[in-house]
Amino acid sequence: MGRVCAACHRDLPQSSYTANQYSKGPGVSRCAACVHGYPYDTPAAKISDSGRYNVSSRATVPNSELYNPFAEGAFRWVAKGTYTKGSRAGQACVVKWFKTGAVFSEDYYTLDIKAIDKALDIVNRFNQFGIVSKPIKINVAEVWQFEDGCGEWSGQRHLVEPFIRNYQKFNSNSGWNDDSEGWAEVMQALSHFSYHITGGNYVLCDLQGGVYRREVILSDPVILSRTREFGVTDLGANGISSFFSQHECNDYCRPNWTQPAQPRQYFNPIPGTTMIRRTVPTRHSRSAQTGHYYDDDSDSD
């Protein structure tokens, strides 16, 4: 029997709570992740058909990647490694970790992982409708920890997920979208579908990944919600409006799918991920492909 955590609002099994917290009852109980800090081995609440999991417990990253990662964002590094223990042993993986002092790191480890569960539910529904011939799946990252001997990052938490080949960006969380045909249109339809199927409360976007022969794999999706419940990449109701201000229905969208009546553009539509936080950061680090907004109105959610 599940219970919604009073802090992170995830629907979790009883095993995710300590006996003391579970005894406090619904609406009060906080899961072990929120009480003790997000644990490295906490799994998603359930295994999803649309999830692509590590199914491994150990990986290695060459020093050449660790100290010269193949990708760099505004706040984190992205390196390529190899699984060494588990079902994926010998296969490539991706390791993502945050730069020292990155102001968004804690939000990523909590609310962004929570967003994956919502994204998996939406993609499951989309796959069930059979709108396209290939199933869509989402990489489900796990929070691991660097071992000793990894220099300044020893002991630091990081995300690990299977590597994606032929990586491409389909749309962003600010409304930008790839205007080509084919899978770019499918992803726009998936974002539109997410709004319709959730009663206008959520939009799955910032869709990026690789197209394989039998499936499409996505990574790092964003959920926009009306109550901004999914962290710094969740641009809230204004983000939903901005997204649809740039959306044009295509052959994969259905005429009966709902959308905002008069969407407005609140954010500059850029390919990179736009982040918004309620407090002004103490240090600045940004890339040309990342937009930052700061909201000091703590009374509005």
Residue pLDDT, tens place only, 167-206: 999 999 999 999 999 999 999 999 999 999 999 999 999 9
Q: Which of these ranges, 17-21, 82-86, 150-154, 215-219, has the smallest mean pLDDT?
A: 17-21
pLDDT at residue 15 in the model: 54
Kindly tell me the sign of the dihedral angle through the C-alpha atoms of 186, 187, 192, 196: positive
CB 202 within 8 A of CB 194: yes
As a whole number, mean pLDDT of residues 270-281 equals 74
Residue scoring higher pLDDT (30 or 61): 61
**pLDDT bucket at 294, cuts 50 / 70 / 90:** very low
Q: How sure is the predictor about 291, in pLDDT bands with cuts at 50, 70 and 90? A: low
**Under 8 Å between Cβ of 130 and 146:** no
251: tokens are 């052959």
State pLDDT tens for residues 80-89: 999 999 999 9
Q: Identify the structural domains of the chain with CATH numbers, from first to last.
A: 1-37 (no CATH), 38-294 (3.20.200.10)
Give the separation between CA 275 and CA 105, rounded to whole angstroms. 12
φ, ψ (nearest 5 deg) of residue 22: -65, -30
Is the per-residue pLDDT at 159 higher than 50?
yes
pTM recorded for the entire structure: 0.76
pLDDT at 40: 30
Number of H helices and E strands in the chain, helices first, is 7, 17
Q: CA-to-CA distance for 55 and 161, rounded, in angstroms?
A: 10
More confident residue, 202 or 102: 202
Quote the longest CA-to-CA distance of the chain: 57
- In percent, the amount of the chain with pLDDT more than 90 equals 56
For the ranges 114-128, 173-187, 202-216, 272-286, which has the lowest average pLDDT? 272-286
- In contact, 189 and 216? CB cutoff 8 Å: no
- First-last CA distance in the chain: 30
pLDDT at 212: 96
Which one-letter DSSP state was computed for residue 146?
A: P
Q: What is the pLDDT of residue 287?
A: 40
157 vs 101, which has greater pLDDT? 157
